[in-house]
């Protein structure tokens, strides 16, 4: 054994080499040892994959910190044990799960491994017969009255990743206490021999088109202005699934609503876990959207939309007044959707004072402002749609959910699904684009109108990637340093409030007064810190729960008095964000 490995890593490697693991796995580990790949071995074994804000996610390969048959198996066995504790072993009324998977390499295999383990533990399994979007999995759990479920996906991560999102019976990703309880059950498994890999085919039922039909009906029900769509049925839409699951349902959803001129980016239409046409399969990246925007330019389209591999996130592009295609960021699109829905609900006489919107604490505050002026509550939650789902669950039957959104390109319309939903969002984005065109405007004009009415809000994000054990330790130290050294000024503006979600406190830096941030309604302790500056700027720092990154968010705003001033105000706000990032040592 290499002397470059710590004792815990060596112990885990020995357990895999001597345990009941398959010969191929052992051979791969031995080769890493023979080649003295100490860094790779440490990163593969120094810890176990854990549930974060989005479940379990990691690079595929051998080891306790990699996505493979055994880490999927351990997580699923722990999940199965917990379900059987909560529901009761073999309970025919509640002991069931739904499983979906995306287009990534090994996703069908991992889904089948999980299905076999659940069924081996007496739990009925509804397994999608082919790849499907994550939001449809959330819907299926509720529709089939399952106790839980999972989707095998790494969302928008690079091709070498895969992952595992665990869901509870309300169709949302697991939250406390279930997340911690599942992890506790997983941690109790000390040997691979405790995992029941041999499935019971009698307990596995394949599902597909029947769930598609019911799910698409909910998207049709979200439509507010079908008459507008009828008039604008020839709206020119370009859509890309970026080699993911969106191709299964986005074109169908748009067709169902009445859009007849949808052009699919064929080069990216085939599901493929190698993502051959992009560096990252992420609609947040301009490079991933380039083929779609080129096609839109050729067709003189009205809208570009693209979804990530598991179709829970959507990116969009529109033409500006110069005729150039520009990407809208997640804050802009979340704001536009909510701007449209709030006014549509008001015109329809549906605002009674009991409606609400939900967003995350790092998402633009223009949403708070729009809700306030329309008498609609806006709940701010921790990052992750499971917290927005928690608000919906807690307020069910008391208040009516309109829409939710987060800056990372995730939106939810209505409450049939309890996770971000790119299928329903594509449909709604197309509808609001049709609405704008029906009123002689482009989607860009609609954006400008929103900013003129509510102020021009602009957000900047810097993500620092820190891989492996050393990276994780560096990220934690960065958060410790920030808490210990709150700056006295940031780009000329004084911090006036520090919100520390780790201990759920808000400190007034002028008076020293400390108040508690209320627990509940999507809020619990989390390693996030926010600074609110005297000029209204908000700076947030948050380690990612699903990626080896620490993220810094900056939100600034200014008035927009005339459409002609859009580019000038935008340039000024970008310069301000850049100055803040530089002052914080992030550039």
CATH code (residue 490):
3.30.310
pLDDT of res. 455: 97
pLDDT of res. 93: 64
Please indicate, yes or no, whether residues 437 and 579 belong to a single structural domain of this protein: no
Please indicate, yes or no, whether residues 106 and 18 belong to a single structural domain of this protein: no
Give me the catalytic one of 64, 95, 138, 155: 155
All residues at 6 or more sequence positions from 59 whose CB lies less than 8 Å from its CB, including other chains:
66, 67, 160, 161
Q: What's 468's DSSP letter?
A: H
- The residue-averaged pLDDT of 93-115 equals 94
Average confidence score pLDDT of the chain? 94
- The highest-confidence range among 2-6, 33-37, 98-102, 175-179, by mean pLDDT, is 98-102
Residue 8 has pLDDT above 90, yes or no: no
pLDDT band at 547 (very low <50, low <70, confident <90, very high): confident
Picking from 430, 454, 478, the residue at the C-terminal end of a domain is: 454
Please indicate, yes or no, whether residues 246 and 359 belong to a single structural domain of this protein: yes
pLDDT of res. 205: 98
- The residue-averaged pLDDT of 238-257 equals 98
pLDDT band at 1 (very low <50, low <70, confident <90, very high): very low
* Helix-then-strand count for the chain, H and E: 18, 22
Q: What are phi and psi of 450, to 5 degrees?
A: -60, -45
Residue 548 has pLDDT above 90, yes or no: no
pLDDT band at 363 (very low <50, low <70, confident <90, very high): very high
Residue 320 has pLDDT above 80, yes or no: yes
Q: What are phi and psi of 80, to 5 degrees?
A: -65, -45
Kindly give the pairing relationship between strand 314-319 and strand 325-328.
antiparallel
pLDDT of res. 206: 98
The region of weakest confidence among 54-58, 189-193, 430-434 is 54-58
Structural domain of 550: 457-583
pLDDT of res. 165: 94
Q: Please give the structure tokens belonging to residue 391.
A: 């608000």
- The residue-averaged pLDDT of 379-400 equals 95
Sheet holding 377-381, edge to edge: 377-381, 355-360, 400-406, 410-413
Please indicate, yes or no, whether residues 196 and 247 belong to a single structural domain of this protein: no
pLDDT of res. 184: 85
d(CA 3, CA 106): 33
pLDDT band at 54 (very low <50, low <70, confident <90, very high): low
Please indicate, yes or no, whether residues 135 and 226 belong to a single structural domain of this protein: no
Picking from 433, 454, 475, the residue at the C-terminal end of a domain is: 454
Specify the residue for token string 């019976």.
169
- The residue-averaged pLDDT of 253-278 equals 98
Please indicate, yes or no, whether residues 445 and 482 belong to a single structural domain of this protein: no
Residue 261 has pLDDT above 50, yes or no: yes
pLDDT of res. 186: 84
Residue 510 has pLDDT above 80, yes or no: yes
- The residue-averaged pLDDT of 290-299 equals 97
CATH number at residue 287: 3.40.120.10
222 or 8, which is more confident? 222
- The residue-averaged pLDDT of 141-163 equals 95
Contact 363, 387 (CB under 8 A): no
- The residue-averaged pLDDT of 499-526 equals 94
pLDDT band at 182 (very low <50, low <70, confident <90, very high): confident
Please indicate, yes or no, whether residues 175 and 222 belong to a single structural domain of this protein: no
pLDDT band at 48 (very low <50, low <70, confident <90, very high): confident
pLDDT band at 233 (very low <50, low <70, confident <90, very high): very high
pLDDT by residue (tens digit) across 340-354? Answer: 999 999 998 999 999
Please indicate, yes or no, whether residues 157 and 224 belong to a single structural domain of this protein: no
pLDDT band at 230 (very low <50, low <70, confident <90, very high): very high
Picking from 400, 423, 454, the residue at the C-terminal end of a domain is: 454
pLDDT of res. 142: 97
Please indicate, yes or no, whether residues 150 and 257 belong to a single structural domain of this protein: no
pLDDT band at 499 (very low <50, low <70, confident <90, very high): very high
pLDDT of res. 108: 98
- Determine whether 526 is an active site residue: no
pLDDT band at 52 (very low <50, low <70, confident <90, very high): low
Residue 55 has pLDDT above 80, yes or no: no
Please indicate, yes or no, whether residues 23 and 127 belong to a single structural domain of this protein: no
Contact 78, 107 (CB under 8 A): no
* Total domains, the chain: 4
The region of weakest confidence among 14-18, 523-527, 547-551 is 547-551
Please indicate, yes or no, whether residues 240 and 305 belong to a single structural domain of this protein: yes
All residues at 6 or more sequence positions from 7 whose CB lies less than 8 Å from its CB, including other chains:
none
Please indicate, yes or no, whether residues 521 and 470 belong to a single structural domain of this protein: yes
- The residue-averaged pLDDT of 482-492 equals 92
Contact 297, 230 (CB under 8 A): no
């Amino acid at each position: 054994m290499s002397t470059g490995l710590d004792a815990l890593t060596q112990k885990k490697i020995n357990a895999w080499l001597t345990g009941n693991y398959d010969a191929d796995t052992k051979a791969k580990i031995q080769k890493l040892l023979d080649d003295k790949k100490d860094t790779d071995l440490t990163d593969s074994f120094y810890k176990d994959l854990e549930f974060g804000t989005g479940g379990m996610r990691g690079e595929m390969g051998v080891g306790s910190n990699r996505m493979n048959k055994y880490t999927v198996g351990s997580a699923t066995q722990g999940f199965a044990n917990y379900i059987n504790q909560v529901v009761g072993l073999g309970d025919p009324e509640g002991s069931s799960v739904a499983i979906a998977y995306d287009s990534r390499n090994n996703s069908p295999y991992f889904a089948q491994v999980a299905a076999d383990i659940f069924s081996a533990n007496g739990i009925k399994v509804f397994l999608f017969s082919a790849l499907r979007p994550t939001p449809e999995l959330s819907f299926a759990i509720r529709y089939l009255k399952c106790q839980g479920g999972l989707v095998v996906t790494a969302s928008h991560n690079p091709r070498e990743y895969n992952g595992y999102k665990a869901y509870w019976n309300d169709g949302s990703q697991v939250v406390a206490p279930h997340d911690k309880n599942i992890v506790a059950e997983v941690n109790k498994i000390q040997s691979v021999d405790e995992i029941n890999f041999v499935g019971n085919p009698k307990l596995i039922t394949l599902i597909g088109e029947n769930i598609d039909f019911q799910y698409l009906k909910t998207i049709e029900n979200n439509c507010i202005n079908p008459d507008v769509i009828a008039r604008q049925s020839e709206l020119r839409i370009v859509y890309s699934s970026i080699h993911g699951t969106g191709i299964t349902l986005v074109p169908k959803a748009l067709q169902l609503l009445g859009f007849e001129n949808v052009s699919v980016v064929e080069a990216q239409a085939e599901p493929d876990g190698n993502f051959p046409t992009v560096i990252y399969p992420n609609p947040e990246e301009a490079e991933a959207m380039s083929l779609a925007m080129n096609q839109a330019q050729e067709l003189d389209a009205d809208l570009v939309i693209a979804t990530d591999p598991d179709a829970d996130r959507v990116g969009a592009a529109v033409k500006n007044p110069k005729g150039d295609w520009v990407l809208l960021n997640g804050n802009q699109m979340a704001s536009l959707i909510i701007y449209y829905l709030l006014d549509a609900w008001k015109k329809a006489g549906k605002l009674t004072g009991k409606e609400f919107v939900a967003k995350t604490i790092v998402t633009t505050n223009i949403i708070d402002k729009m809700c306030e002026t329309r008498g609609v509550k806006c709940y701010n939650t921790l990052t992750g749609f499971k917290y927005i789902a928690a608000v919906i669950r807690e307020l069910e039957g008391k208040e009516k959910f309109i829409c939710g959104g987060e800056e990372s390109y995730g939106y939810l319309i209505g409450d049939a699904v309890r996770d971000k939903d790119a299928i329903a969002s594509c449909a709604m984005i197309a509808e609001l684009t049709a609405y704008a065109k029906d009123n002689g405007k482009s989607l860009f004009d609609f954006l400008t109108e929103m900013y003129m009415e509510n102020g021009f809000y602009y957000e900047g994000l810097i993500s620092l990637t820190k891989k492996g054990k050393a990276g994780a330790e560096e990220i934690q130290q960065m958060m410790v340093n920030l808490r210990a050294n709150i700056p006295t000024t940031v780009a000329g503006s004084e911090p006036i409030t520090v919100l520390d979600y780790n201990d759920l406190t808000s400190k007034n830096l002028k008076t020293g007064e400390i108040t508690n941030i209320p627990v509940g309604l999507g809020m619990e302790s989390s390693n996030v810190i926010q600074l609110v500056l005297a000029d209204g700027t908000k700076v947030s720092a948050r380690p990612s729960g699903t990626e080896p990154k620490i993220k810094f968010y900056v939100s600034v705003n200014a008035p927009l008095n005339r459409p002609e001033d859009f580019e000038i105000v935008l340039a000024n706000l970008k310069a301000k964000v850049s100055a803040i990032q530089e002052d914080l040592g992030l550039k």
